[in-house]
Structure 1
């Protein structure tokens, strides 16, 4: 059930993202020819009022298509309702609407939780391990996703974000040094030894850490409490997501190993879903914000790439040649699909069931 919930949330977030583009276009009277979830061959296809709706074979995202991009379209290139013939501002609004939709959905999810379900109580003591990288210090020492770290070298970590930061600081300051970690695995406590490897002068263990949420909630104490929790949680997640993508450029070697494909994202969702409604909503908000930040990057095929092309057109005072735009988008598609397939293969091979088979 946790797996199904995780996949459902991911599919809904992609749907909301594409709906943002779709609504921004149709509400301005701009012609839309297709609305698709996924890429590749269409598994289900239905035409309604001139728009072809489809679910496709590769669940790696989605897209809204316009007659402007279709060579076989019978609509005149001079039609004022084509996206390419609309003012720059309207086109930028259509392109950015997916990102806006994802940010709005994340905020509403957190606000809805606080209003109708409750606000998560203070986290339990310790730090939760939500993922470990193969053949890295954490995995080699026996740490697994779901383990709770209580103390390091006999010093309790405390709870909340401060506990996570204390553990990160200790690891960073201990490259090549063996540290003693007290962990709790499903109620069974134990001590393990772990040696962070040195990377760019700091220690690293190859594990993804999270505040140790216990899943319990309390009723909100009025609107002030609701909006304080919603805004603080939203901007905390947004800030950390931006920092994560920023580190791809400042420390690509290390951060690229932490990139997650659909398989790892679904696995993370299943783990958080096991913490109850609070965990599932946190997953939805986190992934929705990630989709927004990722799509804002000025790369081919992403919303940020198209946004950049329109801005360049505005600065030039004339459209970018179609051949250059086509090359830009096609190269982005090939790169995106290639990276996605590599991540799927890597993440699938690291699933526990495959690791058990490999170790037999």
Structure 2
């Protein structure tokens, strides 16, 4: 049930993104030929007002297509309602609308969280530190730590609770590069004894795991009808800032952070886990993924909205359209890059699923 919930959220976010492009075009009277979720062969389709609405076989995103892209279209090339014949600012709005829709959805989800779940009222800490994620082939993974484990003892010292416990644990790990530390973790109600050997990174110990405090987030009822909106403004700004910073760190320290990049399989697994927790977790998951989709699509890469925007900017600077040959090469290179990256991430994430690891004998 948790997996289905996570898949439904991801599908909804994709639909919202593509709907942004679609409604920005139709609102301006621009012709649209199709609205598709997924890529590849059509599984289900419906024609309405000259637009094909389709569900396709490969669930790696979606797209809105225009007659301009179809060489067999019977619409005259000089039709004023073709996207390519519209002014630069109208085309820019169509391209930017997907990102705007995801940002707006994230804010609305955070507002809904305030009204439905309540306003965050502090964290109720419990002993231990949770392992939220583990990087493959790093010290934590080699020691046998798994996502969901609760570390209760390290180097013979019991672990307290709260953010202070996380800071103390990180301090101990950083101070023990290349040293073997006995560790006790709780996994599904059973204690597991492990040996953790932090790697040496510039004189500091590193284990390749994401740690977080153990406990539950408490919520209270809003003090007034506007408090959820103010809280959503604060949380939206904070999540967006951290997401942009994360992409910046990935670009500037790619070698160190590439292992933390997750694909759709890992995202669904994380969403399924949060669905079981209930409360405000799913609201936060939906908002965070929606913001990540918006920021990702803003990057100036081929096939992404940011790449399309770069072509528009170049056209504005040149004062005339970019040659079709250059645009085609730009898009084709992006297709190969993004599909290749998606396949790699899916294979990597799938290989780390517990059931797959058991089948492989890990």
TM-score by length of 1: 0.91
Q: Is 1:354 paired with 2:350? A: no
Distance 1:238 1:169 in 2: 28
Shift of 1:191: 6.2
Match runs of 1:278-317 below 5 Å: 278-317=280-319
Please list the CA deviations of residues 84-116 of structure 1 after superposition, one character each: whole Å capped at 9, or x if unmatched.
111111111111111111111111111101112
Stretches of structure 2 lacking an aligned partner (at least 5 in a row):
none
Instruction: Decide which of 267, 270, 288 is 1:265's aligned counterpart.
Output: 267
> Is contact 1:37–1:54 with CA below 8 Å preserved after alignment?
yes
Q: Which moved more, 1:179-188 or 1:37-46?
A: 179-188
What does residue 74 of structure 2 align with? Answer: 74
What does residue 226 of structure 1 align with? Answer: 228
Aligned residues: 359
Distance 1:292 1:110 in 2: 16
3-state DSSP of counterpart to 1:78: coil
> Is contact 1:215–1:275 with CA below 8 Å preserved after alignment?
no
Distance 1:312 1:227 in 2: 38
Stretches of structure 1 lacking an aligned partner (at least 5 in a row):
none
Q: Which moved more, 1:176-185 or 1:137-146?
A: 176-185
TM-score by length of 2: 0.90
Q: Which moved more, 1:14-23 or 1:176-185?
A: 176-185
Match runs of 1:142-221 below 5 Å: 142-149=144-151, 154=157, 156=159, 158-160=161-163, 167-168=169-170, 171-172=173-174, 174-179=176-181, 183-188=185-190, 192-199=194-201, 202-210=204-212, 212=214, 214=216, 216-221=218-223
Distance 1:33 1:250 in 2: 40
Tell me: CA distance 1:324–1:167, structure 2 relative to 1, closer, same or farther (3 Å). Answer: farther
> Is contact 1:157–1:166 with CA below 8 Å preserved after alignment?
no
Q: Which moved more, 1:177-186 or 1:217-226?
A: 177-186
3-state DSSP of counterpart to 2:125: coil
Distance 1:304 1:119 in 2: 34
Match runs of 1:130-145 below 5 Å: 130-145=132-147
